[in-house]
Structure 1
């Protein structure tokens, strides 16, 4: 992660921060996989990010751009197109800021989220129009963005069309011409690797281990 987050906090700053938001964290913890002590460590990371803003909008907000920096440098999520979808999936809004609650829930999902949480999150990332199902056109757009970065072949469009056909045959379990959430969930539960079949929206395990080793090295001892 960026060294700009590595500087130690003034002890008094940290104490004031903890006292100010401790009661809020008790509510946030209920929606995460963290103990309260673990959540406090995550919130200290949040505070370090916040200190990069010269004029933070509020004490419980950080800018989206700084949050994306954490995902990029700390968790290896580098697909700029998919990052737009990730932000929508995480907070469902258009605000330029990320709340403490959204930050905590996102880090909980990426570090400890179970398969059901990850399936729901990934499907939301891919559901560009918020329709509750994935149309052929949506799948084409997602896969074209992904393949265009990995290939300079002029035949990318044809290759994408073929892949979309294959995915529909594989994942459209009720044969209605779209992949609904039930289709997607069942396919991923059967074949977990399909969860990112339409774009990389989750950090890889080595990035997760690196994040934990850097920022939460004592968690295994707690």
Structure 2
């Protein structure tokens, strides 16, 4: 790898940034699928985003608004409603900022996450009330918003109700009227295409490929 991670950054500025945070990155790297060199490249992306803030809150934070831009323009996640759910799922907080750790772990999930990780993440996105299970009303709300954007027909309620009934029959393994995490996990493990049935909370493969080619061309094939 070249001595400079990104030619667009001032070399001394980059050196100071790497020196200040390298110890923190060693801890973060253990919680991702990245090598340390790859994580350094991810952190340069973080630093370039942070430089857009006139007055950054701290050297290890970026604004949620800028992180949404990464999801939208970098990874093609354009569903504003679902992106809000994603933001909560990633850090379970209400802070207007995103930490280095959250940023790195999010990209690890999107670029190299296992099916197990994606199942846990998707369920968290859909569990609007943090109850640990998905009620019929929750599923209806998510499905209605998804279909309303995909269809020009204003009357989608009956179609949504039918789909929710089908999902409950297929995914409610223990027949208790709700889909808990184990129900969801079992159904998606058997049929991975069910993972994002309640809303697109992950980037498409083509968007991941474009992101890697643009920002991390030295990584090689996934």
Task: Give the structure 2 partner of residue 207 of structure 1.
Answer: 207
Asked if 1:126 corresponds to 2:122, the answer is: no
8 Å Cα contact 2:148/2:154 also seen in 1: no
What value does the CA root-mean-square deviation take over the aligned residues?
1.4
After superposition, what is the alpha-carbon deviation per residue over 1:100-140, rounded to whole angstroms, capped at 9, x for unaligned?
00000000000000010000000000000101000000000
Task: Give the structure 2 partner of residue 192 of structure 1.
Answer: 192
Task: Give the structure 1 partner of residue 138 of structure 2.
Answer: 138
Deviation at 1:154, TM superposition (A): 3.0
Task: Give the structure 2 partner of residue 106 of structure 1.
Answer: 106
How far apart are the structure 1 equivalents of 2:72 and 2:137?
A: 28
Asked if 1:92 corresponds to 2:97, the answer is: no
Task: Give the structure 1 partner of residue 158 of structure 2.
Answer: 158
Task: Give the structure 2 partner of residue 173 of structure 1.
Answer: 173
Task: Give the structure 2 partner of residue 40 of structure 1.
Answer: 40
Other structure's SS at 1:98 match? strand
Other structure's SS at 1:62 match? strand
After superposition, what is the alpha-carbon deviation per residue over 1:127-168, rounded to whole angstroms, capped at 9, x for unaligned?
001010000000000001101111121321111111111111
Q: Where has structure 1 moved over 2 Å in runs of 4 or more?
A: none
Q: How does 1:15-34 map to 2 (within 5 A)?
A: 15-34=15-34
User: Any stretches of 5+ residues in structure 2 without a counterpart?
Assistant: 1-5
How far apart are the structure 1 equivalents of 2:41 and 2:16?
A: 15
How far apart are the structure 2 equivalents of 1:153 and 1:27?
A: 50
How far apart are the structure 2 equivalents of 1:33 and 1:97?
A: 23
How far apart are the structure 1 equivalents of 2:30 and 2:20?
A: 19
How far apart are the structure 2 equivalents of 1:30 and 1:167?
A: 37
How far apart are the structure 1 equivalents of 2:115 and 2:196?
A: 12
TM-score (norm 2): 0.96
Other structure's SS at 2:195 match? helix
Deviation at 1:181, TM superposition (A): 0.4
Task: Give the structure 2 partner of residue 117 of structure 1.
Answer: 117
Deviation at 1:89, TM superposition (A): 0.5
Moved more, 150-159 or 200-209: 150-159
User: Any stretches of 5+ residues in structure 1 without a counterpart?
Assistant: 1-5
How far apart are the structure 2 equivalents of 1:82 and 1:15?
A: 37
Other structure's SS at 2:12 match? helix
* Count of equivalent residues: 217
After superposition, what is the alpha-carbon deviation per residue over 1:46-92, rounded to whole angstroms, capped at 9, x for unaligned?
00000000000000000000000001000000000001100010000
Task: Give the structure 1 partner of residue 3 of structure 2.
Answer: none
Task: Give the structure 1 partner of residue 56 of structure 2.
Answer: 56
Other structure's SS at 1:55 match? coil
